[in-house]
């Protein structure tokens, strides 16, 4: 079973995107930045779904399930961090 460790990928938050664009002299809309964050969250949720399907496979060992659960926990933590850093709740509300 091959796993992609998403923790090796540094997510670019909406705020980082805004800061970089502003420092480059360009402009980016807050809406676009929030949309980028939501797309990244959607990707993480899709990965969680894939991991859950893998874990439900009858041939997965307990060790494999623990590794899958660990990756799910990491993805959930990244989603929570994104919501806090980017204040995405204001877009969702």
Element (H, E) at 18: helix 14-23
The pLDDT score that the predictor gives to residue 31 is 81
The answer to whether 6 touches 78, Cβ cutoff 8 Å, is yes
Domain ranges for the chain, please list them. 30-92
The pLDDT score that the predictor gives to residue 23 is 60
The pLDDT score that the predictor gives to residue 11 is 55
The answer to whether 79 touches 40, Cβ cutoff 8 Å, is no
The pLDDT score that the predictor gives to residue 8 is 47
Assign 28 to helix, strand or coil. coil
Per-residue pLDDT of the chain (93 residues; tens, 9 = 90+): 455 555 445 555 656 665 665 565 455 677 888 888 899 999 999 999 999 999 998 899 999 999 999 999 999 999 999 888 766 555 554
* Rounded-to-integer distance, Cα 38 and Cα 46, Å: 12
Q: Give the side-chain half-sphere CA count within 13 A for 7.
A: 10
The pLDDT score that the predictor gives to residue 37 is 87
- 3: closest CA among 81, 70, 59, 58? 70
């Amino acid at each position: 079973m091959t796993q992609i460790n998403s923790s090796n990928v540094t997510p670019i938050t909406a705020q980082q995107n805004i800061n970089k664009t502003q420092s480059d002299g360009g402009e980016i809309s807050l809406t676009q930045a929030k949309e980028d964050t939501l797309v990244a969250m959607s990707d993480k949720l899709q990965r969680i779904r894939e991991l859950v399907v893998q874990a439900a496979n009858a041939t997965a060992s307990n060790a494999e399930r623990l590794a899958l659960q660990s990756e799910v926990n990491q993805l959930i933590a990244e989603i929570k961090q994104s919501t806090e850093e980017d204040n995405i709740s204001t877009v969702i509300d």
